[in-house]
Amino acid sequence: MEFNLRPASEQDRGFLYALHCQTMRDVIENTWGWDEAWQRRDFDRRFREYLTSIIECDGRAVGGLLLEWKPDSLYIHELQLLPEYQSQGIGTGGIGKAIEQAAARRLPVTLSVVPANPRAQHLYERLGFKVTAIEPPFIRMRYRGDGLKLE
Ligand SMILES: CC(C)(COP(=O)(O)OP(=O)(O)OC[C@H]1O[C@@H](n2cnc3c(N)ncnc32)[C@H](O)[C@@H]1OP(=O)(O)O)[C@@H](O)C(=O)NCCC(=O)NCCS
């Protein structure tokens, strides 16, 4: 499915928090438990600190992508889609865009997933991400594009 990315603005904050609650609540509950006040605070921090994009289909906000340039990689903090837009290739496309941006700087893409989200881990593995560390509850993963000069 066709999609585009645009930078998020203050007006998108409510959509992104609702999306986080809708798509991540089960995984978070099964991993840490859900503390609404903590979730709200941490979401506001991420929204402030990371490069936040809205994923749009036909002009409608359908997802969010939060990235951070780290010294040695482009880190995907969040990738979430409304349920009715999942499993149509948009997530793969969003990860592809991150990989392109990172490759332009000759850097890998990194992310973390938790065991409570095996479908997401499966997607990352299928795309070529490799597990680099297990730091419970996190499984750290990295995509190393061909030709990238890494350690
Ligand atoms: C994970 C996610 C971003 C993938 O994007 P997508 O557009 O649905 O994925 P694609 O269509 O490109 O690829 C399909 C694969 O995504 C994964 N996937 C699909 N729906 C998923 C869901 N609800 N939760 C986790 N992974 C999912 C599966 O591996 C699926 O492959 P399968 O159909 O063989 O099981 C999206 O499904 C989503 O927003 N999920 C809920 C939030 C989430 O788990 N985010 C990742 C946090 S680490």
Tokens for 126?
């299928």
Residue 149 confidence (pLDDT): 45
In ligand 1, the atom with minimum distance to the C-alpha of 92 is: 12
pLDDT in tens, 10-38: 999 999 999 999 999 999 999 999 999 99
Residue 92 confidence (pLDDT): 96
pLDDT in tens, 97-111: 999 999 999 999 999
Q: Which residues in the chain land under pLDDT 50?
A: 147-151
Distance 54 CA to ligand 1 centre (A): 17
Residue 150 confidence (pLDDT): 42
The dihedral region occupied by 88, where left means phi > 0, alpha psi between -120 and 50, and beta the remainder, is: alpha
Distance CA 145, CA 78 (A): 20
Domains with residue ranges and CATH for the chain? 4-143 (3.40.630.30)
Distance 151 CA to ligand 1 centre (A): 30
Distance CA 37, CA 104 (A): 38
Residue 146 confidence (pLDDT): 58
Tokens for 53?
């994009």
DSSP string, the chain: ---EEEE--GGGHHHHHHHHHHHHHHHHHHHT---HHHHHHHHHHHHHHSEEEEEEETTEEEEEEEEEEETTEEEEEEEEE-GGGTTSSHHHHHHHHHHHHHHHTT--EEEEE-TT-HHHHHHHHHHT-EEEEEETTEEEEEE--TT----
